[in-house]
Amino acid sequence: MKTIKVRPGKIGRKKCLQLIFKYDQEIIGLIKTFPGSCWQPEQKCWRINLEEGTMNKLVEVFGGNVRLDLESLIDSGLRSKGKSTTSEFVLNALDK
């Protein structure tokens, strides 16, 4: 199964997710469906804007065909108690 590593990021003050994966034209095509998505050559990853519902859309778009590796979000110690959804967790974590 294909895997996309998902890391938190920021471009200036704008919250984003960095998506890292082995080159795959199909995955790139799906990422381009996210508003504001772009390739970051210096970090060698794709970036998508992080807004309410972004995590849900990631799951929707990639379904069971791609594994979303959220390990770096958890390992970063960003998880906050009391957050009810992954989207809220990520949005809260990037506020720090």
DSSP tag of 70 = -
pTM greater than 0.85: no
Provide the percentage of residues in the chain whose pLDDT is more than 90.
47
Structural domains of the chain, with CATH = 2-94 (3.30.780)
- pLDDT tens profile 40-81: 999 999 999 988 888 889 989 997 889 999 887 766 554 444
